[in-house]
């Protein structure tokens, strides 16, 4: 059970505090409600590029990192399709340094051509390192636009192509900042060795004079129901083994569907006693790796099978093997023990995640963004409330061919 | 209105407070070291053996033996073993080091009994079934093929081969063919020799309740002990300094490794050298990051590391860089190294790095689980976490001259091996 307080400042900033005296540090986590989903289709990759620019100095601070390091802190950030998250862990007596830095770059960023130019190059190298130079690195560049035709989830956070990043202008940077980087579009979550009242007082001190943006964001286009099977084969990849991906549309993060799907994915592939591992890796040896998981996006997400084939296995045979597991899942009973195992694993996973204050501050911010911060303590009961019957019905409805996008990712034939 | 031009005052970083660890010896001499925190509902156990790659008769024996421990015991099949851990939400992890091999368990304290018993069964009653071994080896070969497609992997392996020589265990050199030579008999014999009370240590942390300690006692105190055969000694056969290239014609980035032998944890120069390394490439604001990423945008990340092992250490710069500008990046690295040798680090920069270093130590010792990991490593050198308090005092005393002397002594570019992997 995580104890927290939540307050909303007059300018719209949500401030969440959690005390953990088991650490000498405080984590200051600032979530901005902007991600790759908010980009224009012709200018993708921008939210992530912008995250890099946030470290390039602000109105009153030349060098963000210098001050973090001088105070013994550590900071980083990540961007996904739904949001951008910045965090600093810093020795508790220096927490104000983190609040000063974060509030300063919220109230005004130093915009410079030089910084933009360098970070464009850095991000292009990141694109190459993660997506082009790594085996299987570009799979999601193919799979997203296959599964999504309308929703902005159709492009990855890094962007559709290097060109979009290369063409970003300073004007784009400024517009983006003024729309999205404001207190009424952010959640400040503080966790660690600090009293809640003190944390709130310091948050007010540094953030309350920053004006809200009051930006009315356009509604995102929602993905229409998929009505026919989609398939794509990408040949000639320089990888040692063929791979297959099957993505099915599922519910959003707050829906019961999400919890049912997560349980399905656990029964299928969480741990070495799971069905896919035992049947397809150990027994039939069709795959060398296989996984089933949910993306967990805010808007309706994907249930994904991904597998790497063993040498000499025909990809059609491999796909049938997955199909067979799906059919078995729908037909065969789920034992009480199998379900209890998933519940136990979830309970343990939540207990492990509460060890770390940095994770706690990030999770508190995330659940607040979802619209229900209390959910952080209700996750376990949400899982428990899913009946075997719901699991079955969910699987039957979801695992239909017309709800599926299949990618065959084939190796180079030498 | 608040004045944002004035930075809030920064306090000196606190000295870490160390958890008191306790020791307990089992009847067969196995030492249990534990850090008990009743506020946790979780515990972690690491059982380590002198069964690392250093002692293996042939490449990949140690890692294969270790990773096969959960593939069947005299009493349970692989599937039943996995089912026991999964059912209780426990995780088991295997870590094959150069000297130590380790099996770790993380579990809810309320399930201590079934999870610790199964852990002990893996350690004490493992069998190496032919069929499971075949699957494991096939998948490992596939994984190696994936790795061989990565320039970073090629560069890393080539670098350690050049530093220690292909035959030295620290080079950890292996090929696809090595997997074909692994047999159940080979694993069995290595397991019998190495996984036993001699050379075994158990580290426990988190909620190490009475029940946890009792289980450990019951499960491990009658584990047999027998002396090891005489230890083999390995000579290093380093390649001459200079350039070495691994070809990967289709690569859009080139992986770079620049380095030489490093400074060991127990050497007098260790602290000052670590500090010097941090200035060069050991934190986000390092000279390499500032120059090659933040100034020139040639890479997503560049860093330098001092890797210290019980018998030797190596030091290197590592980066994946824009293929067209790999030579420019290497030149800049060497330029930064020379600058450290020729000019003292400015006081202000040194102060910054010292603060960052102290912050990092505090982070390495943040919480009972982190302190346990840190302690585990130090115990291998006959030290404990008071090592860090000594380091903190030494850091404080370091001057720009000390760092320059370290650079002159340990970072001579003419002694360095430079490996690139990518298109030429």
Compute the mean pLDDT over every residue in chain A, rounded to the nearest whole number.
Answer: 94
Please provide the CATH number assigned to the domain covering A230-411: 3.30.830.10
Report yes or no: B284 and B404 within 8 Å, Cβ to Cβ. Answer: no
B5 in reach of chain A (CB within 8 A): yes
Tell me whether residues B366 and A134 touch, CB distance under 8 A: no
Choose among A307, A280, A395, A385: nearest CA to A339: A385
> For residue A337, which residues of chain B lie inside 8 Å, CB to CB?
87
B92 to chain A: nearest residue by CA?
A271
Residues B1-35: pLDDT tens digits? 789 999 999 998 889 999 999 999 999 999 999 99
Nearest-CA distance B30 → chain A (Å) = 28
Q: Both tokens of residue B99?
A: 């000297």
Q: Is B189 left (phi over 0), alpha (psi -120 to 50) or beta?
A: alpha
Give the number of beta-carbon pairs within 8 Å between A and B: 203
pLDDT given at position A10: 97
For chain B, give every domain's residue range.
22-220, 242-422
Beta strands across the sheet bearing B201-206: B22-25, B31-36, B201-206, B42-49, B101-108, B91-96
B171 pLDDT band (50/70/90 cuts)? very high
pLDDT at A39: 94
Cβ of B385 under 8 Å from any chain A Cβ? no
Amino acid A414: pLDDT: 63
Cα nearest neighbour of B146 on chain A: A240
A396 touches chain B (CB under 8 A): no
pLDDT digits (tens, 9 = 90+) for B371-392: 999 999 999 999 999 999 999 9
Q: Which pLDDT tens digit goes with each residue over B129-147?
A: 999 999 999 989 999 998 9
- The 3-state secondary structure of B34-69 reads EEECCCCCEEEEEEEECCCHHHCCCCCHHHHHHHCC
Residue count (chain B): 424
Using CB atoms, pick whichever of B70, B135, B358 lies closest to residue A281.
Answer: B135
In contact, A207 and A188? CB cutoff 8 Å: yes
Going by C-alpha positions, the residue among B263, B193, B236 that lies closest to residue B409 is B263
Nearest to B145 among A22, A240, A356 (CB): A240
| Same-fold call for B22-220 versus B242-422 | yes
Residues 338-357 of chain B whose Cβ lies under 8 A from any Cβ of chain A: 351-353, 355-356
User: How far is residue A31's CA from residue B304's CA, in Å, rounded to a whole number?
Assistant: 31
Phi–psi pair at B367, nearest 5 degrees? 95, 165
Which fold does the domain A5-207 belong to in CATH? Cytochrome Bc1 Complex; Chain A, domain 1 (3.30.830)
All CATH 3.30.830.10 domain ranges of chain A, comma separated, are 5-207, 230-411
* Complex confidence, ipTM: 0.87
Q: Report the distance separating Cα B222 and Cα B17, nearest Å.
A: 36
Question: What is the pLDDT confidence band of residue A316, given thresholds at 50, 70 and 90?
Answer: very high
- Report phi then psi at B193, rounded to 5: -70, -40
* CATH class for the region spanning B242-422: alpha beta
Does B243 touch chain A if contact means CB atoms closer than 8 Å?
no
| Location of structure tokens 């079955």 | A392
How far apart are the CA of A228 and the nearest CA of chain B, in angstroms?
A: 34
Is A311 or B279 the better-scoring residue by pLDDT?
A: B279
Q: Do B369 and A355 touch (CB under 8 A)?
A: yes
pLDDT-derived band at A354, boundaries 50, 70, 90: confident
- 47-66 in A: which are within 8 Å (CB) of B? 59-60, 63, 65-66
B137 touches chain A (CB under 8 A): no
Task: Enter the CATH code of domain B22-220.
Answer: 3.30.830.10
Q: Where are the beta strands (DSSP E) in B296-362?
A: 299-308, 313-322
């Amino acid at each position: 059970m995580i104890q927290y307080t939540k307050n909303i400042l007059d300018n719209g900033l949500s401030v969440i505090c959690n005390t953990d005296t088991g650490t000498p540090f405080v984590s200051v986590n600032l979530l901005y409600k902007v991600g790759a989903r908010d980009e224009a289709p012709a200018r993708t990759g921008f939210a992530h590029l912008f995250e890099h620019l946030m470290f390039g100095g602000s109105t009153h601070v030349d060098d963000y990192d210098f001050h973090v390091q001088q105070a013994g802190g550590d900071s980083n950030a990540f961007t996904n399709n739904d949001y951008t998250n910045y965090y600093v862990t810093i020795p508790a007596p220096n927490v104000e340094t983190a609040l000063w830095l974060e509030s300063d770059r919220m109230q005004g960023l130093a915009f410079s051509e030089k910084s933009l130019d360098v970070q464009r190059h850095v991000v292009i190298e990141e694109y190459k390192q993660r997506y082009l130079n790594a085996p299987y690195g570009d799979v999601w560049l193919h799979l997203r636009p296959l599964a999504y035709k309308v929703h902005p989830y159709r492009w990855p956070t890094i962007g559709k192509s290097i060109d979009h990043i290369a063409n970003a202008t300073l004007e784009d940077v400024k517009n983006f900042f003024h729309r999205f980087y404001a207190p009424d579009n952010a959640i400040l979550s503080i966790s660690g060795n600090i009293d809640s009242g003190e944390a709130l007082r310091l948050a007010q001190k540094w953030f309350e004079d920053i004006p809200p943006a009051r930006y009315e964001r356009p509604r995102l286009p929602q993905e229409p129901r998929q009505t026919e099977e989609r398939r794509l084969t990408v040949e000639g990849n320089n990888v040692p083994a063929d791979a297959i991906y099957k993505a099915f549309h599922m519910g959003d993060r707050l829906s019961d569907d999400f919890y049912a799907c997560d349980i399905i994915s656990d029964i299928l592939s969480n741990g070495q006693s799971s069905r896919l591992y035992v049947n397809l890796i150990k027994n039939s040896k069709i795959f060398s790796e296989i996984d089933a998981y949910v993306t967990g996006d805010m808007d309706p997400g994907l249930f994904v099978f991904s597998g790497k084939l063993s040498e000499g296995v025909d990809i059609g045979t491999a796909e049938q093997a997955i199909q067979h597991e799906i059919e078995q899942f729908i037909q065969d009973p789920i034992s009480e023990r199998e379900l209890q195992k998933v519940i136990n694993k979830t309970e343990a996973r939540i207990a492990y995640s509460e060890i770390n204050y940095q994770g706690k501050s990030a999770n508190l911010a995330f659940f607040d963004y979802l619209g229900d911060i209390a959910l952080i303590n209700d996750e376990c009961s949400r899982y428990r409330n899913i009946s075997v019957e719901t699991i079955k019905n969910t699987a039957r409805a979801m695992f239909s061919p017309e709800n599926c996008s299949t990618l065959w990712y084939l190796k180079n034939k030498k | 209105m608040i004045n944002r031009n004035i930075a809030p005052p920064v306090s000196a970083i606190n000295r870490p407070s160390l958890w008191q660890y306790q020791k307990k010896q089992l009847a067969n001499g196995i030492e249990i070291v534990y850090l008990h925190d009743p506020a946790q509902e979780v515990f972690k156990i690491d059982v380590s053996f002198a069964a690392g790659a250093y002692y293996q008769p042939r490449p990949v024996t140690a890692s294969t033996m270790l990773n096969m421990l959960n593939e069947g015991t005299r009493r349970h099949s692989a599937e039943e073993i996995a089912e026991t851990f999964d059912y209780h939400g426990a995780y088991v992890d295997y870590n094959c080091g150069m000297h130590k091999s380790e099996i770790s368990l993380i579990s809810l304290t309320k399930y201590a009994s079934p999870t610790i018993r199964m852990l002990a069964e893996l350690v004490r009653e493992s069998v190496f079934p032919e069929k499971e071994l075949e699957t494991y080896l096939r998948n490992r070969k596939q994984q190696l093929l994936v790795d061989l497609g990565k320039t970073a992997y090629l560069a890393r392996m080539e670098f350690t081969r050049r530093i220690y020589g292909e035959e030295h265990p620290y080079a950890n050199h292996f090929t696809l063919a090595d997997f074909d030579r692994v047999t159940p008999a080979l694993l069995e014999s290595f397991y019998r020799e190495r996984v036993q009370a001699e050379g075994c240590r158990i580290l426990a942390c988190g909620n190490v309740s009475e029940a946890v300690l009792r289980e450990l006692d019951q499960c491990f105190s009658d584990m047999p002990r027998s002396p090891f055969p005489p230890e083999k000694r390995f000579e290093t056969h380093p390649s001459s300094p200079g350039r070495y290239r691994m070809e990967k014609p289709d690569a859009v980035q080139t992986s770079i490794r620049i380095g030489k032998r490093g400074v060991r944890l127990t050497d007098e120069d260790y602290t000052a050298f670590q500090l010097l390394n941090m200035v060069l490439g050991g934190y986000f604001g390092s000279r390499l990051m500032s120059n090659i990423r933040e100034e020139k945008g040639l890479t997503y990340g560049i860093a330098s590391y001092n890797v210290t092992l019980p018998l030797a250490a190596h030091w290197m710069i590592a980066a994946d860089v824009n293929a067209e500008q790999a030579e420019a990046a290497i030149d800049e690295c060497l330029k930064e190294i020379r600058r450290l040798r020729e000019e003292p680090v400015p006081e202000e920069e040194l102060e910054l790095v010292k603060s960052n270093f102290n912050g990092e130590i505090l982070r390495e010792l943040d919480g009972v689980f982190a302190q346990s990991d840190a302690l585990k490593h130090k115990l291998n050198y006959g030290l404990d976490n008071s090592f860090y308090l000594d380091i903190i005092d030494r850091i404080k005393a370091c001057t720009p001259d000390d760092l320059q002397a370290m650079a002159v002594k340990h970072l001579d570019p003419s002694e360095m091996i430079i490996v690139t992997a990518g298109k030429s």
